[in-house]
Amino acid sequence: MATIRDVAAEAGVSRATVTRVLHEPDKVSPAKLAKVQAAIKKLGYRPNMLSQTFRSSSARTIVVLAPNLANPFFAQVIAGIVDASDELGYKILVGSTNNSSKREADYIKMVETRLADGIIQMAPFTEGEVSLLPREHVPAVSVAGVPGTPYPGVRIDNVAAVKECIQHLVSLGHTHIGAITGPANNSNTIVRLKGFKEGLEEAGLSYLPELVREGDFRLVSGFSATADFMLDSNPVRPTAIFCMNDEMALGAMRSLKTFNLRVPEDISIIGFDNLDFSAFASPALTTVEQPAYDMGRRSAALLVDMLEGRVGKADADIVLPYRLVERESTAVVHTRA
């Protein structure tokens, strides 16, 4: 384990300068700051900022990084994380990053300075998208992400789940299936789009980019994307829309009402997540259930196992079952809208 002395020697500065970088970085010259930060990174140094009196090997605190706390899906995941962590003797600190890398960096610093022990990352890791993780010396688990993240994860098989949605729509006779995606660079969008394309291909249908609109996983984007589908100028309109989450599906259903179109008689809508309110929507939403609460519980248990040395990083990637919940918003194709 690197010490403050090692960092000072590596950076060619005094120990006092290293301490200043950690506590009052604004009082250090940019050149020295850069040298010390590089040395900290190279050596994987984790300063312990807990006072001598309360020093312990673990803060027994987990930081949960949440991209969007307004999405009830994340609230369900957090509920699972909180319950499991509590049982395991850990406290939770929820960091709302709102996709800001500056905010994410601040929370990561809490682990580096041992004010927290590890991180549960709810924003999927994507090249170019926010995520300063992984860092070798920051224990982390991804939840509701995608395969291939450089740290262990708890997720469902998104590709298979979306393919099942498409099979369901195809079995109802739909051949013009639209999609409302999340942000293009979001890795959940990327894997769900893969499932969408594969599902169409397996059904012998062509992927038509004009039947796809980009949303942002929020209600309003589902509303506007659907309105855009309905423009008179569109040469082709969907008879069914696969929405990459329930929020956007709810927005889509509301939007169709403004066009006097009925769900499912005129257009079928299918969502993803199975939020609590989706069963109470009118019509009740057909959707994919992600076991959000269990995903939260399992991710907390996995991180604690890692922190307490019961599981290595390499052997942990948990894929939980999903379920297509068929309700009222999908039906046999009736007429081309």
Binding site for ligand RIB (CB under 6 A): 71, 73, 144, 182, 188, 217, 245, 272-273
Report yes or no: 195 and 163 within 8 Å, Cβ to Cβ: yes
- Least Å distance between CB 180 and ligand RIB? 12
Half-sphere exposure (CA, 13 Å, Cβ side) for 66?
A: 21
What are 116's two structure tokens?
Answer: 């927290």
Q: How far apart are the C-alpha atoms of 287 and 173, rounded to whole Å?
A: 18
- Least Å distance between CB 82 and ligand RIB? 18
DSSP letter (8 states) at residue 273 = B
Residue nearest to ligand RIB (CB): 245
Q: Which residue type, as a one-letter code, is found at position 18?
A: V
| Nearer to ligand RIB (CB atom), residue 47 or residue 80 | 80
| Nearer to ligand RIB (CB atom), residue 239 or residue 299 | 299
- Least Å distance between CB 73 and ligand RIB? 4
Q: Which residues contact 44 (CB under 8 A, 6 or more apart)?
A: 2, 136, 137
| Nearer to ligand RIB (CB atom), residue 100 or residue 171 | 100
Write 130-138 long-range contacts (CB < 8 A, 24+): 130/67, 130/97, 130/99, 130/100, 130/101, 130/104, 131/101, 131/104, 132/101, 132/104, 132/105, 132/108, 133/104, 133/108, 135/108, 136/44, 137/44, 137/46, 137/112, 138/108, 138/111, 138/112
Phi-psi region of 130 (alpha: psi -120 to 50; beta: other; left: phi over 0): beta
Q: Which residues contact 106 (CB under 8 A, 6 or more apart)?
A: 95
| Nearer to ligand RIB (CB atom), residue 63 or residue 191 | 191
Read off φ and ψ for residue 297, nearest 5 degrees. -60, -50
- Least Å distance between CB 145 and ligand RIB? 8
- Least Å distance between CB 200 and ligand RIB? 20
| Nearer to ligand RIB (CB atom), residue 71 or residue 131 | 71
| Nearer to ligand RIB (CB atom), residue 45 or residue 217 | 217
- Least Å distance between CB 287 and ligand RIB? 10
- Least Å distance between CB 270 and ligand RIB? 13
| Nearer to ligand RIB (CB atom), residue 188 or residue 226 | 188
| Nearer to ligand RIB (CB atom), residue 37 or residue 68 | 68
Q: How far apart are the C-alpha atoms of 115 and 55, rounded to whole Å?
A: 10
- Least Å distance between CB 36 and ligand RIB? 36
